[in-house]
Amino acid sequence: MPKHPSPSRPTAYVNARLLDPASGLDALGGLLVEGEKIAAIGKDLFRDGARWRVPEGAAEVDCRGLCLAPGLVDMRVLSGEPGEEHKETLDSLGHAAVAGGVTSLVCLPNTTPVIDDMSVAEFIARRARKVGMSKAYVYGAATKGAKGVELAEMGLLAEAGALAFTDGLNAVANARVMKNALAYASSFDLLIVQHAEEPALAQGGAMNAGARATRLGLSGIPAAAEAIMVERDIRLAEMTGARLHFAHVSTAESLAAIRRAKDRGLKITCDTAPPYFALTEADVGDYRTFAKLSPPLRSEDDRRAVVAALKDGTIDAVASDHIPEDEEVKRLPFPQAAFGGIGLETLLPITLELVHNRELAMLDALRLVTAAPAKLMRLAAGELAAGRPADFVLFDPERAWQVDADKLHSKSKNSPFDGRAVQGRAVATYVDGRAVFAAESDRR
């Protein structure tokens, strides 16, 4: 990439393939940044015949035909800070995010202490601003301590900046508590996000239930554990009129229930994560703990159902589901190893596999990681428009590379895609007009 622009001068980005899912723009053109905002964008902006003519006094960046898209918005990320800084700090999280083209991320409340108190929410926002990489927002815990017993102070947390409410890695298992959370949230038009897994059915399970788990001698987590919780909570959302979102949906049965709820006009939305449309239970291989995720990797039929739901719009967004875990808890026998995988730097290339495999058009794939999650979180992000923050990514959709977990920026290295050959990579990332990442080979 060309030299980083000076933030004190307007900067014209020319010769870029502009991709904006929010407006449907897919054309060669230019973008002008003034200060922290996008000042202008358009097909052939700055074009003068065969040349690009930029405004007097503006710096020029030739994008060489690379894709220029809104910065990715990742709505499901766990930070190790505060409490487990040996797994991830807000600094390492921010660097991993911008290396993946992510300019806005939303942190789960499962830190130590849990984000059920305004001071923790404010701490994360303050630390993220100091790091100066990706913009960081937070979920508030739906219940105190994310223990599923007593409702958290959702109103106060919303005033402190919490975008939505969830117990994150934990399901709100008690139906009465969930109903009360939804009823309270409905009163203030807040969004509840559920990790849909019936705990009693999942208890003791290590991978997806089925023939493969039996062959490996591992306890299984049935697909029904997810579907039962989804169907219960749809009923509760209908009773209360609340907005309810299901995170990382992974089974055909759950998606069928969500599709029916949407058809009935209920305020139900959902996301999935790259492992659930790019991997299956077969990737557990011979007890590969990097493939131990929650929910577990499912069958090929479930994977196909997830892809179909991405295509027909049942699934609203794709999130990385970035859960850093260190060697201490991953280098254990499979039943004892921790659940979770990192995903910030593989979110873009794995999502682009849907394009390379001709399952989604480019703008439809990018919408899932930009405009759609921004809309769900009600963030002024995920689109390229005059007046919007200058948060964008330049990427090469054809660049081939192999995921090497040891070379990723996250402090933890537990990538379920370690060793996978992928296509597509962020070349440069900008937040509020500042260059915050440039790929190694493109630095000057």
Task: Assign 3-class secondary structure to 236-257.
Answer: HHHHHCCEEEECCCCCHHHHHH
Which residues, including other chains, have CB under 8 Å from residue 188's CB and lie 6 or more apart? 154, 155, 158
Round to whole Å and give the CA distance between 234 and 441.
49
> What are the tokens at 132?
């100066």
d(CA 330, CA 337): 5
∠ CA 25-26-32, rounded to 5°: 70
CA distance 321 to 425: 19
The residue from 321, 391, 396, 418 that is catalytic is 321
User: In whole angstroms, what is the distance from residue 71 CA to residue 366 CA?
Assistant: 10
Q: Residues 154, 159, 165, 169: is their CA dihedral positive or negative?
A: negative
CA distance 1 to 154: 44
Q: Are 355 and 397 in contact (CB under 8 A)?
A: yes
Provide the 3-class DSSP secondary structure of residue 18: strand
29, β-bridge pairs? 16, 43
Type of residue found at 335: P
- 71 residue type, one letter: G
Would residue 116 show up in a list of annotated catalytic residues for this protein? no
Burial of 21 by CB count in 10 Å (0-12 exposed, 13-18 middle, 19+ buried)? buried
Q: Give the residue numbers annotated as catalytic, written as ranges.
A: 321
